[in-house]
Amino acid sequence: MKVDRFGESFIWGASISAAQTESATDSGGKGPSIWDEFCNRPSRFFKKHPIKNSEHLKNSADFYNHYKKDIDHLKFIGFKHFRFSIAWARVMPDGENINLEGFEFYQSIVAYCLKNDITPWITLYHWDLPLALEKKGGWTNPEIVNWFDHYSKTCIQYLPNVKNWILLNEPSVFVGAGYFFGIHAPGRKGVTPFIKALHHANLCINKTYYSLKNINPDLNVGSSFSFTHIESTDSKPQNKKAAKLADTLINRLFFEPIIGKGYPIENIKLFSKSQKNYLKKDEYLLKTPLDFIGVQNYTRELFKYNFLNPLLPIKHIPASKRTKELTMMNWEIHPPSIYHTLIKLSQYQLNTPLYITENGIALNDVIGNNGIQDYQRIIFYQSHLQEVLNAKDEGVDIKGYFTWSLIDNFEWAEGYEPRFGLIHVDFVTKKRTLKESAQWFNQFLGRKLDSTLK
């Protein structure tokens, strides 16, 4: 497989997010986010700390003070596109009023990207809601639609040189993990907060898309979605039906309303009649002609029928119980998943370009005498890129690929043990070290690596 098989116009980039890499949680006028508060929650005798090893996002890669070095590395690896996010609480500490120093930081990043012929792609929301807004209800408050719209319009006003915008990063994850299971910030649990947060996130995509396009029709505005490939454990009808329900809850529920197909909720017994009505009442507002769709895929999951739970008759079979091919996140390594995801999306016949905005693997990378020999990551990328190419060759309109991630980061509730980066970060000294996978990408993309950056 050679890079030219993807075509000259195919773009290559790497991604990070603000909350996972910036550190500097109280620098430059930044206000607290829901993840600052989540990390600060005390451990109790009967209740574990919500973050593994009681770690805190303030101790991450310090991109705030090292962004030039990281962009230099990105350039020398050979990427021409850089996806990063804005910390809402850095530019609006209370969620609504402007902090100029915060915007000046992102203006500096954009300027440095453009100076180095790197195209910035900015994600407006990558899970770090200002704590002040969460205290008003956060994503369960209908006013979030107006808050997010105001914030987004302000961002494009202060960053006029940015063309490519991603509205929300993986609503299924920040809504599901944060407002249903309570394992991510803000730590809420239950069907009702989940339903409200889900619907308001979809309304945000619609309203803000039109707001940004009305200000500047030339902007390239999309949103990214998590797509997990779902299969049944076998071909038994009840297990296939369970897998279909799981696919509805994990994938279709967050994507199909945006493409005009409405909420696929008729057969979900978990949702009450009033909750279904809440979702349906504004359904006509949700169809959004996004300029592109960000596709994020990491693995597949298997499900079977569970007769013990009549409201949600599905049972998840953890990857650890069925394979040894696992990442540090205990996700199955299954390259065909990304192919099946792309083919399934193409069957919607949307005529909307697709970009892989995240794909990568978490490993336990260790620096040795010969650097960081993360050959498993190289194999992961080789196999997944081949599957992307297979889908592209079959006519799927895939325009680009962003790795996750450029640098090692704070991996939410999993803390710092799982490392996704092409660049190793010593979280104490903040020293950067290129991994073998970074050098593989350099060779694949056809750039000569500057040895001084190793």
**Residue 222 CB-density burial (10 A; 0-12 exposed, 13-18 middle, 19+ buried):** buried
pLDDT the model gives residue 144: 98
DSSP-assigned states of every residue in 346-390: HTT-----EEEEE----B----BTTB---HHHHHHHHHHHHHHHH
State the Rg of the chain over Cα.
21
Q: What are the extents of the domains in the chain?
A: 3-447
Residues of the chain with pLDDT under 70: 45-46, 448-454
pLDDT the model gives residue 47: 79
Model pTM score: 0.97
CA dist 81 and 299 (Å) reads 24
- The alpha helices in 216-333, defined as continuous H runs, are 237-247, 253-255, 273-280
CA dist 53 and 413 (Å) reads 9
pLDDT the model gives residue 293: 98
- The alpha helices in 116-190, defined as continuous H runs, are 131-134, 144-158, 171-179
pLDDT the model gives residue 448: 61
Q: Please indicate whether residue 170 is annotated as part of the active site.
A: yes
Please check whether the domain covering 3-447 is classified as CATH 3.20.20.80: yes
Could you tell me if 215 and 153 are in contact, meaning their C-beta atoms sit under 8 angstroms apart? yes
How many C-beta atoms lie closer than 10 Å to residue 267's C-beta?
10
Instruction: Tell me whether strands 292-296 and 220-226 are parallel, antiparallel or unpaired.
Output: parallel
CA dist 390 and 395 (Å) reads 9
CA dist 156 and 211 (Å) reads 11
Could you tell me if 67 and 109 are in contact, meaning their C-beta atoms sit under 8 angstroms apart? yes
Could you tell me if 260 and 239 are in contact, meaning their C-beta atoms sit under 8 angstroms apart? no
pLDDT tens digit sequence for 187-242: 999 999 999 999 999 999 999 999 999 999 999 999 999 999 999 999 999 999 99
- Token representation of residue 449: 């690596």
Is residue 220 within a helix (H) or strand (E), and if so which, with residue range? strand 220-226
Catalytic member of 22, 170, 231, 411? 170
Instruction: Tell me whether strands 423-425 and 432-434 are parallel, antiparallel or unpaired.
Output: antiparallel
- DSSP-based three-state secondary structure for 253: helix
- Token representation of residue 345: 């999306």
Catalytic member of 231, 301, 358, 411? 358
CA dist 83 and 74 (Å) reads 11
pLDDT tens digit sequence for 294-346: 999 999 999 999 999 999 999 999 999 999 999 999 999 999 999 999 999 99
CA dist 275 and 91 (Å) reads 34
Q: Please indicate whether residue 266 is annotated as part of the active site.
A: no
